[in-house]
Amino acid sequence: MKTFLAQLAFDGKRLVLRNFSFIFFALLMPAGFYLLYTKIMISGSTVAVKQFNVSYMDQMIVFSILLEAFFTIASILKRDRDKGFTTFLRLSPKGTFPYYVSITFWMLMMSLLSVIVLGGIAVGVNGVRLDAGQWLGLLGIVLVGQIPILMIGTAMSFIKREELLSLASNLITFPMAIVSGLWWPISLLPNWLQIIGKQMPTYFVNNLLNQLTSRATVDLKYFVGIAVWLMLGSLLVVIVAKYEQRKGVALGEA
């Protein structure tokens, strides 16, 4: 337990407190977009504006998860592997298990913090009303829904070159955000893009949040979609890790 707590404290300092890019991508960028679109670039009837303030909060929460997975966690895992940190841990008596649990813990905490920050802005600035059940539902859906997205980010961390990882992060993150309806309604996209967007994990998570915050009936098919992506993401990580292992990289360093 002492080893795990020490790992948590160590990762918390280096990943959160001393890492401005982590805070920027996970919190400040989505919060900035939310304020920009809800206070400056929105018009319409009072009812329409209220609905938009709620739905765009959901979208920016999912966007925060996307940035966290494809920029932050991918970069962190790659950097630790390149610097030999995971090799050092693998050879230590405790192994890499506390490390991976600690990284996962802080990723989950940042996602929950994004819910609190964006939800707090929505409530405090835009007058959005969320009851206790909705707050708990938001936290629960985000905890579950982000896992397959984080798995994809983990697979991306195996990209060998830093510049290629940065390129891949941009080429995947922003198109996925667009086609899954995180920046504007998916109905505005061409039909063929809508078909693609409605298969994205971000689309499933966003719609679950929308149904929760609008007090609509939750459609279980979105949970099924998340479960399918969880299996696909896990399979992708295993395939990439085994490929690296065949090239002489120990699986424990992955």
What's residue 2's pLDDT? 75
pTM (predicted TM-score): 0.88
What's residue 254's pLDDT? 45
What's residue 248's pLDDT? 55
Q: Specify the amino acid at residue 154.
A: T
Q: How buried is 110 (Cβ within 10 angstroms: 0-12 exposed, 13-18 middle, 19+ buried)?
A: buried
Structure confidence by residue, pLDDT tens digits, 86-137: 878 878 877 788 888 888 888 888 888 889 999 999 999 988 999 999 999 9
Give the distance from CA 174 to its chain's centroid.
13
- Of 131, 142, 117, 126, residue with least CA distance to 53: 126
Q: How buried is 36 (Cβ within 10 angstroms: 0-12 exposed, 13-18 middle, 19+ buried)?
A: exposed
pLDDT < 70: residue spans in the chain: 43-44, 247-254
What's residue 247's pLDDT? 67
On whether the CB atoms of residues 159 and 165 are closer than 8 A, the answer is yes
In order of 45, 53, 119, 120, 159, the CA distances from 123 in angstroms are 19, 9, 6, 5, 40
What's residue 131's pLDDT? 92
In order of 50, 67, 172, 237, the CA distances from 59 in angstroms are 15, 12, 17, 26
